[in-house]
Structure 1
Amino acid sequence: MRLYTLFALACLPLLGACQFLGGQSDQLRPQRITWEQRADACQGERCSLVNVDTLQFAEQAPLNALIERALLAMTVEQAEAPLPASLLDYSAVQLQREPQGQQTWLQAKLIDQHDDLLVIELSSYLYRGGAHGMPGRAFINYSLSRQRALQPSDLLLPGGEETFWQAAREAHQRWLREQEFEQDVELRNKWPFEKTANIALLKDKVLLKYDVYAIAPYSMGHPTLSIPYSRLRKVLRPEFLPAQK
């Protein structure tokens, strides 16, 4: 299964001038859009459904389109399969093709905005039968000034990538201690540290979130690592480093 991940951030002109070192009193409040469709042709006990809980930002068409594409990409289960045209199109085709025993849950949620940054978390849960479904996670951090999603290379100083992932490894060691797995040699050998594209710049830390099975068993859900900004002073470009962090 292919799960889509994004790494970006946002500088919000609606909040005023782009000032990473300054504060703001306004908050961007997107419209929440929720809907659910069920298979009409289903005659069984467990009819298929598609449930969507997403966001719409006023006068931000590129961002809205990116959110929809990201959610659609989380539904793609075969490599190189094309994206559906829209969430509604996906729902219609999916429910007609598999009217029974299939569930798709998709969500986009604004989890943080600070200084000039806006962070959206994407969640998916695809149930295709069996004991449990497959959950997915991703982040969108969007630059309205650039009108595109930023990549890690946009954020890191030259030569900063190695230092960033060393800080992530340190965060992984802290996580192992917190989970009391530091002495569990079998688990550490089976689930070693890996890089992830699911990275978000929150107001108080940099957050890394892993897909299930990435660095821990399914039962542990989505492991989360945190890196303090103080550890990244010589890693992030100054314009992306919040003041006093």
Structure 2
Amino acid sequence: MSLLKLASLTCIALALGACQSMSEPKPLAFTPDASEQVKAGCNGEDCPLVNIETVHFASDPQLDALIEQRLLKMTVNSPDDKLAPTLSAYREQFLRAADARNSMYLQAKVREQHDDLVIIELISYLDTGGAHGMPGRGFINWSRKDHKELTLQDMLLPGQEKAFWGAAKVAHNSWLINSRLGNDPQFVKTWPFQQTPNVALLKDAVVLKYDVYSIAPYSEGNVELVIPYSRLNGIVKPEWIPGRG
């Protein structure tokens, strides 16, 4: 191979690398933070406990604060509950009042990072000693460029919300068919399709996450519906479709 040809290939490779680095920003660095604490003076398997697993973004304090605020909102389970100012304050408050076999699990994890977005999945699980605990789910779609959480209205082109939920209904029908639950007319009648606030702009598809008892019984867990981006052309803003921004 001639030196001229080798130099040309090197230039092409460098150019492609530069394009890739421009289109795929470096992931935002974060630090995991996990802790578990039981009620003071308690020993044994039935001791109340609080388990918190979260992530910290030192370079983006706005995102860091939002994650804590959203986790705190997941601790509110009745109209009488007051929002604690911090996760540490909530932990102390919960353990002080908790009975045996009571526990709370809170988790924030990075589900994905792609293009301009950081997708955080939020998870909670409250166990009050009954037959089973109550799980909660949520997402944060964080725009690094705009330094804010995206709402559904931010994601969609104007006037396309009805079309979006129409695509979600198609995904729901696919889930019914694949899970064979659609073969039961009583199930379809009892658990009709609903909208959800939990929407995530993942790299390969838009994902909807449902709370238990919303579109299925507890035994089905937190159902996920998947909508391919190919079904969302003209619905989701092009800037939020991976590879088109």
Taking structure 1 as the reference length, the TM-score comes to 0.87
Map 1:158-169 to 2 at 5 A.
158-169=158-169
Shift of 1:41: 3.9
Shift of 1:43: 6.0
In the alignment, which residue of structure 1 is the partner of 2:170? Answer: 170
Q: 2:82 aligned with 1:82, yes or no?
A: yes
Provide the secondary structure at the position in 2 that maps to 1:109: strand
Larger relative contact order (C-alpha < 8 A, sep ≥ 6)?
1
Q: Distance in 2 between matches of 1:36 and 1:203?
A: 32
Provide the secondary structure at the position in 1 that maps to 2:26: coil
Answer yes or no: is the 8 Å Cα contact 2:105–2:125 preserved in 1: yes
Q: 2:69 aligned with 1:94, yes or no?
A: no
1:166-187: CA deviation from partner (whole Å, max 9, x where unpaired)? 0000000000010012221010
Map 1:105-124 to 2 at 5 A.
105-124=105-124
Q: How many residues were matched structurally?
A: 225
Q: 2:127 aligned with 1:133, yes or no?
A: no
Shift of 1:40: 1.0
Provide the secondary structure at the position in 1 that maps to 2:141: strand
Map 1:1-245 to 2 at 5 A.
23-24=23-24, 26-42=26-42, 45-79=45-79, 81-243=81-243
63-72 or 146-155: bigger deviation: 146-155
Q: Distance in 2 between matches of 1:146 and 1:28?
A: 14
More helix by share: 2
Shift of 1:60: 1.1
- Residue type of the partner of 1:42? C
Provide the secondary structure at the position in 2 that maps to 1:126: strand
**Over the residues paired in the alignment, what is the CA RMSD in angstroms?**
1.9
Provide the secondary structure at the position in 1 that maps to 2:193: coil
Answer yes or no: is the 8 Å Cα contact 1:200–1:206 preserved in 2: yes
Greater radius of gyration (CA): 2
Q: Distance in 1 between matches of 2:26 and 2:148?
A: 23
Question: Aligned in 2, Cα 1:34/1:45: closer, same or farther, shift over 3 Å?
Answer: closer
Provide the secondary structure at the position in 2 that maps to 1:225: strand
Q: Distance in 1 between matches of 2:182 and 2:217?
A: 15
Structure 1 ranges of 4+ moved more than 4 A: none
Question: Aligned in 2, Cα 1:26/1:149: closer, same or farther, shift over 3 Å?
Answer: closer
Over the matched positions of the two proteins, sequence identity in percent amounts to 46
Taking structure 2 as the reference length, the TM-score comes to 0.87
Answer yes or no: is the 8 Å Cα contact 2:102–2:129 preserved in 1: yes
- Residue type of the partner of 2:83? L
Answer yes or no: is the 8 Å Cα contact 1:44–1:100 preserved in 2: no
Shift of 1:87: 0.7
Q: Distance in 2 between matches of 1:151 and 1:203?
A: 17
Shift of 1:26: 2.4
Runs of 5+ in structure 2 lacking a partner?
A: 1-18
76-85 or 152-161: bigger deviation: 76-85
Q: Distance in 2 between matches of 1:204 and 1:44?
A: 45
1:76-103: CA deviation from partner (whole Å, max 9, x where unpaired)? 1112633101111011111111152210
- Residue type of the partner of 1:133? G
Provide the secondary structure at the position in 2 that maps to 1:182: helix
- Residue type of the partner of 2:208? L
Q: Distance in 2 between matches of 1:193 and 1:166?
A: 10
- Residue type of the partner of 1:65? A
1:3-24: CA deviation from partner (whole Å, max 9, x where unpaired)? xxxxxxxxxxxxxxxx9xx632
Shift of 1:52: 0.4
Shift of 1:45: 4.9
Answer yes or no: is the 8 Å Cα contact 1:207–1:226 preserved in 2: yes
